[in-house]
Amino acid sequence: MRLSKAWLIAVRDFKIFRHQKNVWYPLIIFPVLISLVFPLVIQFASSRSGEAFAARVPLLLDSFSMFLVIGAAFVPLGIASYSIVGEKVEKSLEPLLATPITDGEILLGKTISAFLPTLVAMYTGGTIFMILNDVVTFPMLGYYYFPNWTIGVILIFLMPAAIVMSVEVSVIVSSRVNDVRSASNFGILMFFPFLALYIASELQLITLDINMFLIISGIIFLVDIALFFVSTTTFKREEILTKWK
């Protein structure tokens, strides 16, 4: 596996994405929404609930942090689906497969091309999320809640693992469909496990603290490994040329 070859694929995809505005919308809109909506919600709630609300703020912030993970799972769907489906539509994989590059290098390049823009977008959104929440909650808490170890686990472990999972699912789904929208619609199923975790925390069935985030990170990491093997089985040149629809 030569990283330099995978990087060439990723750089080419970045150049292609420049001309596909649709690919960029989720990368911009979702992180902006997360970073702005939740500080506003806290500001609004605190103005109506008064001092009693302050005690609930840390728990709320940890729960809201879960939306960074949901975003990480959701945002790459479009870009990853386009990366594969776009090649299918243009039939540009065949000449590429006839070059001295391995299937694994192409797949890694595709993964990088969806992973990096998502990570940059979500880290940017996460940073704004932390700053604005700190600004809003400092008067209630008397200290800056972010950064802390919990958000550290989310940013360093959980978010990248969720992005990889989303990309791998997109690769698998993209091999079976012929348009980006269908691929994204299937991939959107990714959204639900994370939403279920958030709802479970709101129903106080689980507590979204650092330990829970570490456990979730571990589970997603194992899922990533399983999906990687499935996607490498799907992304084989003979499969691509003879069985992909």
Rounded to whole angstroms, the Cα distance separating 3 from 93 reads 19
Instruction: Read off the tokens for 152.
Output: 């550290």
| Binding positions for other proteins, 100-119, rule CB under 8 A | 100-102
**Which of 22, 49, 92, 233 is close enough to bind other proteins by CB under 8 A?**
92
Write down the least CB distance from residue 113 to other proteins, Å: 13
Phi and psi at residue 243, to the nearest 5°:
-120, -20
- Which residues, including other chains, have CB under 8 Å from residue 195's CB and lie 6 or more apart? 70
Rounded to whole angstroms, the Cα distance separating 114 from 13 reads 9
- Which residues, including other chains, have CB under 8 Å from residue 217's CB and lie 6 or more apart? 153, 157, 158, 161
Rounded to whole angstroms, the Cα distance separating 190 from 145 reads 29
The answer to whether 52 contacts other proteins (rule: CB under 8 A) is no
The answer to whether 88 contacts other proteins (rule: CB under 8 A) is no
Write down the least CB distance from residue 242 to other proteins, Å: 6
Write down the least CB distance from residue 178 to other proteins, Å: 14
**Which of 32, 37, 96, 223 is close enough to bind other proteins by CB under 8 A?**
96
Nearer residue to other proteins within complex by CB, 181 or 243: 243
**Which of 95, 139, 143, 204 is close enough to bind other proteins by CB under 8 A?**
95
**Part of the chain binding other proteins (CB under 8 A), chosen from 60-68, 143-151, 158-166, 234-242:** 234-242
The answer to whether 15 contacts other proteins (rule: CB under 8 A) is yes
CA 14 to chain centre: 17
- Number of other residues whose CB lies within 10 A of the CB of residue 148: 15
Dihedral sign for Cα 101, 107, 113, 119, please: negative
**Which of 99, 139, 203, 204 is close enough to bind other proteins by CB under 8 A?**
99
Write down the least CB distance from residue 4 to other proteins, Å: 9
Binding interface with other proteins (CB under 8 A): 5, 8, 12, 15-16, 18-20, 86, 90-102, 237-238, 241-242
